[in-house]
Chains A and B, each alone.
Chain A
Amino acid sequence: QQKVQQSPESLIVPEGGMASLNCTFSDRNSQYFWWYRQHSGEGPKALMSIFSNGDKKEGRFTAHLNKASLYVSLHIKDSQPSDSALYFCAVSPGTGSNRLTFGKGTKFSLIP
């Protein structure tokens, strides 16, 4: 059974700072990787996805994937108050599947 582990459990950075969220997975056949963000009191929402090894940038967010190392990460630049949330890494087993396995999440907060 797929295991998805995230680190750190919580992360606090100053406004305008940078943050790195890490995720490892256990199934080498995994194909698709997602980052979801959940604000307090809401359901999770997809932030970005990555399917190929390397980096993918969307605005202030950059995802990195290394399938050989079973590793995916999310980097947040110029952190804003709206970024404070719970971030989940999610892994899909293969093409055409959105049966996702989620990690336990990283709680990201900004220093007031």
Chain B
Amino acid sequence: EAAVTQSPRNKVAVTGGKVTLSCNQTNNHNNMYWYRQDTGHGLRLIHYSYGAGSTEKGDIPDGYKASRPSQENFSLILELATPSQTSVYFCASGDLGGGTLYFGAGTRLSVL
């Protein structure tokens, strides 16, 4: 099965600080996605990428940047973290031609 690894698994950050969440996939998938999960909102798409060097805005991109330096790695960057960004963040990968998304185990972020 596809392997998607997120780090760190837990993170506590201070308001105004910079946070970087990392994601690595070993399945040579072209597409990678960042979602956040909040009670009452389900999974919401923040940013996604169709390959190294490309990033696209999802449905809720404000306050977030993304970076895809290689096929395997996709990062989510919070330049100035705010308490409203406290959430569980999931990375996922999938084939270029569509099909199943494979999710990582998530990163729980608390911004104090």
Contacts and interface: CB of A to CB of B under 8 A. Distances in A.
Q: What's the interface size class on B, roughly? A: 20 to 34
A37 to B, nearest CB: 11
A95 B90 contact: no
Given A43-B90, A44-B43, A100 B59 contact: no
Interface string B66-98: 000000000000000000000000101011111
Contacts of B41: 104
A44 B45 CA distance: 14
A18 interface: no
Contact of A104 (B42, B94, B100, B106): B42
Contacts of A101: 45, 59
A82 interface: no
B59 A104 contact: no
Chain A at the B interface: SS class = loop
A95 B98 contact: yes
Nearest to B88: A43
A1 interface: yes
A92 interface: yes
Nearest to B91: A43
Contacts of A6: 42
A100 B32 CA distance: 12
22 contacts: A41-B105, A42-B105, A43-B92, A43-B104, A43-B105, A44-B43, A44-B90, A45-B103, A46-B101, A46-B102, A88-B43, A96-B98, A97-B98, A98-B98, A98-B101, A99-B45, A101-B45, A101-B59, A102-B42, A103-B42, A104-B41, A105-B42
Interface of A: 1, 6, 32, 34, 36, 41-46, 49, 88, 92, 95-105
Given A43-B4, A44-B101, 8 more contacts: A43-B105, A43-B106, A98-B94, A98-B98, A98-B101, A99-B45, A102-B43, A104-B41
